[in-house]
Structure 1
């Protein structure tokens, strides 16, 4: 059974890279949202196993940390696992302080460590 991932705020190129890498590792369906409003509507409407949030949204320049805070402050959405995608450790720390799971940077996407980081949320799919 496929897992469902929501990718928020990434450009088309990065969404394609994420979908390709996640699909190579796991049996996943990746859905995209360009902005926080769309993302919140989607997570309220559909069950996601993981939400991947870009630090700064490509289309709107919104803060991914703001979306994480909104989700984690919502009784309805707080239990959904969320990770920040950022190469900057200080933003990763802030995301974790807000309740996100430890995330990763785009430059590390191909690393085996990222696969291990994602496995608790997306495994039990492809061997």
Structure 2
């Protein structure tokens, strides 16, 4: 069964790096969203196996932690797994405290450790 990852808030090159990493290691579709509104709308329309959120959104530099808080506080969406994309441990810890799973940084895209973090959500 094909899995679905939604990547929120990354610029084109970073989105493409994540998409390439995921599609080359998992039977998964990677969709791009740009902020809270289109991410929530997508989550209400289809099943999603994992959402990755950039620490600072490319579109308007909004704090990605706010998107995690919004989705995790929504009773209909709170069980959707989420990860923050940041190289900074303190922001990862904050995301985990909000209900996300410990994520990965852009410098870790393609690393075996990152693939291990994605596997529970994207392995068929």
Q: Provide the TM-score with structure 1 as the length reference.
A: 0.95
Deviation of residue 115 (structure 1)?
0.6
Please tell me whether the aligned partners of residues 83 and 101 of structure 2 are also in contact (alpha carbons under 8 angstroms). Answer: yes
Question: Residues of 2 paired with 1:34 and 1:5: CA distance?
Answer: 14
Aligned residue-pair number: 124
Please tell me whether the aligned partners of residues 92 and 103 of structure 1 are also in contact (alpha carbons under 8 angstroms). Answer: yes
Matched residue of 1:39: which SS?
Answer: helix
Matched with 2:9 is: 9
Deviation of residue 34 (structure 1)?
1.1
Deviation of residue 27 (structure 1)?
0.6
Task: State the 4+ residue runs in structure 1 displaced beyond 6 angstroms.
Answer: none
Matched with 1:117 is: 117
Matched residue of 1:59: which SS?
Answer: coil
Please tell me whether the aligned partners of residues 72 and 79 of structure 1 are also in contact (alpha carbons under 8 angstroms). Answer: yes
Deviation of residue 44 (structure 1)?
1.1
Deviations 1:7-53 (A, max 9, x none): 00000001111100101110110110011111111111111000000
Tell me, yes or no, if structure 1 residue 88 matches structure 2 residue 88.
yes
Matches within 5 A, 1:8-87: 8-87=8-87
Please tell me whether the aligned partners of residues 49 and 121 of structure 1 are also in contact (alpha carbons under 8 angstroms). Answer: yes
Question: Residues of 1 paired with 2:114 and 2:80: CA distance?
Answer: 19
Deviations 1:92-126 (A, max 9, x none): 000000000110001011210011111000012xx
Deviation of residue 4 (structure 1)?
0.4
